[in-house]
Amino acid sequence: MTGWKLKRVIRYKLIFNRHIMKFDPDEQISIQKVCADELVKMAGKYKNFVVLEANLGPGSGLQNFAKQFPDRHFRFGNSLRAMVASAAGFVARGKIPLLFAYAIPISGRAWDSIRNFISSQNLNVKIFGLHAGILNAEEGILNQALEDVTIMRSMPNMKVIAPADAVETRLALDVMMLDYGPCYMRLLHLPLPKLFTEKHKFVFGKGHIYKSGTDVCIFSYGTTMHTALDAAEILERKKVSTMVVNMSSLSPIDAGLIVECAKAVNKIVTVEDHQVEGGLGTAVSEVLCTDYPVKLLRLGMDGYGESGKVDDLYRKFELDGMGISEKIQDWIK
């Protein structure tokens, strides 16, 4: 194993201990990188999509696409609103624009343009928010997108996806391209272990029971799907049978599955690398309040993050397996 790979494995061992033990470390792949690589492969299959990017560096992984398809790649610098407006124009010309930017500015500074030009018109534009959550640890508070899911899922017509691994990212991309209408995908830039095989299916509006259980049910997505599974393993050792559900489709959300799990378990937990207000916890509570009220514990960020190492921040904000399991144990006593 090369030096940088070994360093990477040691760095993420605290967060993803269960999965590093289960999978070869070399199988850890960045969702963001997978997405960029997949665009090159998809270019022949979907000849009418174009890539628009705003103020992204080499870490975006889009250079290969830009090099191979220069006539389908457009840079907009810091002009996010111009990029969104241009996307509407590309749709009018029969293209499918794929917009790439950091999650903070694309969901924040460009919000009104996305609402007015894309969402309100139900245009076929796909938006990708990079470096989301406190997983973007070393970039600090100003660059940790913790409200993007809230902002995007609040807009009518907008679908919101947050895949949990490389396989699900590839599957979701294909589904996005075949679906008409605006969509936002939350992308993570650090390597994550594999959770799914190629037999896994991604469907808008559908969740997936990854692990069965009878005492408590954890709903999660993205990075915290991994730490939720770590927490489930700890809880199982303490005789707490724990179900874990992947909710990568955040809007539309699988209301039927939420109610089904609530009836089966009666204690529901949501975990996310996002503000507890407006994210998955709020989406699940909306369903439960309407259809099947049960006890709900929402775990996530209650405030802003800070600069630091990934494992340190996940530990501090109790989004690692141990922190999640301890909070659940205290809650169900």
pLDDT tens per residue across span 170-192: 999 999 999 999 999 999 888 88
Pick the closest to residue 151 from 187, 118, 103 (CA basis).
103
Q: What is the DSSP letter of 69?
A: -
pLDDT digits (tens, 9 = 90+) for 223-259: 999 999 999 999 999 999 999 999 999 999 999 999 9
Q: What is the DSSP string of 3-65?
A: HHHHHHHHHHTTTSHHHHHHS-GGG-EEHHHHHHHHHHHHTTT-TTEEEEE-S--GGG-THHH
Give percent above pLDDT 90 in the chain.
Answer: 82
The pTM of this model reads 0.91
In the numeric block, which tokens belong to residue 314?
């996940």
CA distance 270 to 34: 26
pLDDT digits (tens, 9 = 90+) for 3-61: 333 333 334 444 555 443 344 445 688 888 899 999 999 999 999 999 999 988 776 78
pLDDT reported for residue 16: 52
Report all structural domains of the chain as residue ranges with CATH numbers, in order of start.
Answer: 29-192 (3.40.50.970), 208-332 (3.40.50.920)
CA distance 308 to 139: 8
